Amino acid sequence: MGTYSFYTVATDRVGRKEAIPSQADAVVQYNPSGPSLALLEDEHDFGTVVIDKTRAWNMRLVNTGDSPVSVESVSTTTQWFRADFRAPVAIDAGGHLDVPITFAPSESGAFQDTVTVQSDDPNASSLVATVRGEGADEMPPTIRLASTGSKLSTSDRLIVSGWLDNPGDAKTADVYVAVRLAGSDTLCFYPNWTLAPQAITLKLGEASKLGPVTLLDFCVGDGVERGEYVIFGAVVAAGTRYDLLSDIAVLNIVIE
């Protein structure tokens, strides 16, 4: 640690050296900082997790110093959050370490905790991150329908779109979308708009969203029967047709 000056000194054939110049060729200041541990994020929200299920987050520790740092412990204070860490772990200068933090609610409610990191960083031996999450009962998927208008006439363009939200666990489900024709009880099913029910089987990821998906897109012509059309959408357990997982979405459209 300190300031270092470098000089060029010539030596002749018989070994005589010139005097050291009054001005250095180069001056270098060397001040090693040692280890310096930091958190990439000091807070994290796990969102809503179904009771007795888990969700993980990798808490990243970064060594921004110029020598290795030893992480001695990573701990939480409540039963809802857990740190998967075995001490000690050394992080090289410029390196990082990901520590899995898991949220596992066993009852409904909002929960918060602190994750404490202990290390041999001489300037900050203790770092703290805040984590939070909410436990909830099984959350069913929802389906939503929307259109470019609820009343249309000749030459108007009708676009009907659908959205699917699965806030809970990953699952396989069937989606049905149907249109009840004006002036009748006849149902035509998406995607081919035939009378036979057609299931759209989807693998829904955990806490996933899908949409918008265009279900209908056409211009109203003179040959389209006037009256009220009703579009239905529902999510059911795969292969059951009638075991509803969602409420039935209903969209009313009047063609005048």
Strand partners, 21: none
Could you give the CA distance from residue 42 to residue 60 in angstroms, rounded to a whole number?
Answer: 9
Summarize pLDDT for 90-142 with one digit per residue, the tens.
999 999 999 999 999 999 999 999 999 999 999 889 999 999 999 988 888 99
Could you give the CA distance from residue 102 to residue 55 in angstroms, rounded to a whole number?
Answer: 6
How many C-beta atoms surround the C-beta of residue 75 within 10 A?
14
Asked whether residue 251 carries a pLDDT value surpassing 90, the answer given is yes
Determine contact, residues 236/244, Cβ cutoff 8 Å. yes
217-246 in b/e burial notation, b at 16+ Cβ within 10 A?
eeebeeebeeeebebbbbbbebeeeeeebb
Residue 178 structure tokens = 């149907």
Q: Which of 55, 27, 21, 70 is nearest to 133 (CA)?
A: 55
Polymer length in residues for the chain: 256
Nearest-Å Rg of the Cα atoms of the chain is 33
171 Cβ partners below 8 Å, 6+ apart? Answer: 141, 203, 204, 238, 245
Confidence of residue 239 (pLDDT cuts 50, 70, 90): very high
Confidence of residue 31 (pLDDT cuts 50, 70, 90): low
Q: What is the 3-state secondary structure (H, E, C) of 126-195?
A: EEEEEEEEEEECCCCCEEEEEECCCEECCCCEEEEEEEEEECCCCEEEEEEEEEECCCCCCEEECCCCEC
**Domains of the chain (ranges plus CATH)?**
37-136 (2.60.40.10), 142-255 (2.60.40.10)
Q: With 0-12 CB in 10 A as exposed, 13-18 as middle and 19+ as buried, what is 176?
A: buried
Asked whether residue 4 carries a pLDDT value surpassing 70, the answer given is no
DSSP 194-243: BSS---EEEEEPTTEEEEEEEEEEEE--TTSPPEEEEEEEEEEETTTSS-
Question: What pLDDT does residue 1 have?
Answer: 46
pTM to 2 decimals? 0.56
Summarize pLDDT for 182-217 with one digit per residue, the tens.
999 999 999 999 999 999 999 999 889 999 999 999
Kindly report the average pLDDT of the chain as a whole number. 90
Question: What pLDDT does residue 29 have?
Answer: 57
Determine contact, residues 228/199, Cβ cutoff 8 Å. no
